[in-house]
Chain A
Amino acid sequence: MRVFSPRKFPGKLIVVEGIDGSGKSTQLALLSQWLRSRGFGVVFSEWNSSPMVKGTTKRAKKKDMFTPTTFSLIHATDFADRTERHIFPPLRAGSVVCADRYAFTAFARDVARGVSRRWVRNLYRFAVRPNLAFYFRVSLDVALGRILGGRDALKYYEAGMDLRLSRDVEESFRLFQGRIIDEYEAMIEEFGFRVMDATLSIEAQQTQMRAIVEKELDLTHTNGLLRTPWKGTLDANGIPADFL
Chain B
Amino acid sequence: MESPLTFYEEGLPGIDTEALCGKLLVIEGPDGVGRSTQIRLLRAWLEHSGHAVMDTDMARSALMGKAIRLAKEGNTLGPLTMSLLYATDFADRLQNEIIPALRAGFVVLTDRYIFSTIARAGARGSDAAWIRQVFGFALRPHAVFYLKAGVQDLLPRVVYARGGFDYWESGMDVRLGKDLYASFVRYQTRLIRSLDSMARRYDFQVLDASRPPDKIFLDLKKRISKLLQTRRPRRKPARAARPEAAAAEA
Distance in angstroms from B91 CB to nearest chain A CB is 5
- Judge whether B136 and A73 touch: CB under 8 Å: no
- Judge whether A80 and B78 touch: CB under 8 Å: yes
- Judge whether B76 and A69 touch: CB under 8 Å: no
- Judge whether A52 and B63 touch: CB under 8 Å: no
Across the A-B interface, the 10 shortest Cβ-Cβ residue pairs: A84-B78, A73-B88, A77-B84, A80-B80, A114-B13, A56-B67, A81-B81, A80-B81, A122-B133, A116-B10
Q: CB-CB contacts of B82-116 with A at 8 A, as 1s and 0s?
A: 01110110011001100000000000000000000
B44 in the interface, Cβ–Cβ < 8 Å? Answer: no
| A56-B67, A70-B91, A118-B10 known; A85+B78 contact, CB < 8 A | yes
Q: Please measure, in the bound complex, the distance between the C-alpha atom of A1 and the C-alpha atom of B68, giving whole angstroms.
A: 31
Q: Which of A53, A67, A69, A116 contacts B67 (CB 8 A)?
A: A53
Instruction: Determine the main DSSP class of A at the interface with B.
Output: helix
Chain A residues lying within 8 Å of B14, measured Cβ to Cβ, are: 114
Using a CB–CB cutoff of 8 Å, the interface residues on chain B facing chain A are 9-10, 12-14, 62-64, 66-67, 70-71, 74, 76-81, 83-85, 87-88, 91-92, 95-96, 126-127, 130, 133-134, 136-137
Q: Which of B9, B71, B88 contacts A70 (CB 8 A)?
A: B88
Chain B residues lying within 8 Å of A69, measured Cβ to Cβ, are: 12-13, 91, 95, 137
Q: Which of B62, B74, B134 contacts A122 (CB 8 A)?
A: B134
Q: Which of A67, A83, A85 contacts B91 (CB 8 A)?
A: A67
- Judge whether B134 and A70 touch: CB under 8 Å: no
| A65-B62, A119-B136 known; A70+B10 contact, CB < 8 A | no
Q: Which of A70, A73, A118, A122 contacts B130 (CB 8 A)?
A: A122
- Judge whether B81 and A56 touch: CB under 8 Å: no
Instruction: Determine the main DSSP class of B at the interface with A.
Output: helix
Q: Which of A56, A114, A126 contacts B80 (CB 8 A)?
A: A126
Q: Which of B62, B63, B77, B134 contacts A123 (CB 8 A)?
A: B134
Chain B residues lying within 8 Å of A83, measured Cβ to Cβ, are: 80
- Judge whether B92 and A70 touch: CB under 8 Å: yes
- Judge whether A74 and B136 touch: CB under 8 Å: no
Q: Please measure, in the bound complex, the distance between the C-alpha atom of A28 and the C-alpha atom of B67, giving whole angstroms.
A: 30
Q: List 20 A-B contacts (CB under 8 A).
A: A52-B77, A55-B67, A65-B62, A65-B63, A67-B92, A70-B92, A73-B84, A73-B87, A74-B88, A77-B84, A80-B81, A84-B79, A85-B76, A119-B10, A119-B136, A119-B137, A122-B130, A123-B134, A125-B130, A126-B130
